[in-house]
Structure 1
Amino acid sequence: MKLADLGEQGVIELFKREFETLECASVLKSIGDDCAVIRLDGGDCLVVSIDTILQKTHIPREMTPEQIGIYAVNVVLSDIAAMGAEALGLVFSTALPQDMNRDFAGSIAKGMAQAAAKHGTSIVGGDTQKAEEIAITGTAFGRVKEENLLLRSGAGVGDLICTTGEIGSAAAGFYCLTNKIDGYHGFIKRALEPRARLREGKILS
């Protein structure tokens, strides 16, 4: 059986079976939620998430280098927001082609820095590699009180379910880009410049 036959969830389960044997008492939540959760002293929890964007699947030609950076930061911070946590910092592994223009790469970095600052956090480290195509992997760290932690398992019968933003607008934007449909600039902007809902997540927690 190939990985394509398993699907994303099947691949996750494949790894999860092995990783579960490594858990320790301080790990409150591991694979299966938006972030891993590690219990700290004083009632605080450290939440950690990781996300990768790839040129072929996440970066349309219409995306500017600044938007690539903005996208990379907001994608991984969205998981921190989903847990109701405040962002502490980010690290990135950035793989770029060697023939990329210096200014283009600098603009990616500028977009990343601006997006992090907009959410009151910063990029504190990382790694750079050579690659045939752009691949950016971000790890975000956040902090939240254990009693305020938002988990996928926390919902129950009778709870009020709320959403933020316009559901499907980013998908509609990517559809417009893929099919060269003009006139829907709002949708396209949401696709190219997603926004992590950190403020809303903290309010809900």
Structure 2
Amino acid sequence: MAAEGSDPDEALLTGVGRGDPAAVRQLLGRRLPRVLALARRILNDAGEAEDVAQETFLRAWKQARSWRPGAAKFDTWLHRVALNLCYDRLRKRRETITAEPPEQVDTGPAPDAGLLGGDLSRRVEAALAALPERQREAIVLCHHQGLGNIEAAALMTISVEALESLLGRGRRALKASLADLAGQGR
């Protein structure tokens, strides 16, 4: 059992560094769902999120042997790696320039599908995806990943005050975007 204040993943990382398959499975079971959820919410693409999660854990396995206990909390480091990989993919999306827009069929729900089908989850995810990148990141880290403001601010390399400002603007934008849903639950 880990000592109070120590990183609960350190013993597993030591096992991963030694090539212990049980440690690999346990660490994956413990951390993969959160990394995958983070990437899905930031990228809004399940396939890309799986690629990001895979690359994140490949980097973790490569670092496991040289991991220095106490230098950083593994979960924080893992979130940072996943966020950086998400940023790389978002940058690549913006950099794709074509002479003409690609011919694509919009496979998303019809504009009235959320209202007719009562699909609140899709409406919320769409509203979240429409937020500016940094606001979406702040909301995902604090509300979906369950990180505290201090840890989320450190991951985003901003002050706690800046994080709280991003959270406030993001929440207001979500509230405005979903305002038509407020009266439907009555």
TM-score bin (small chain):
under 0.3
Higher relative contact order (CA 8 A, sep 6+): 1
The TM-score normalised by the length of structure 1 is 0.24
More strand by share: 1
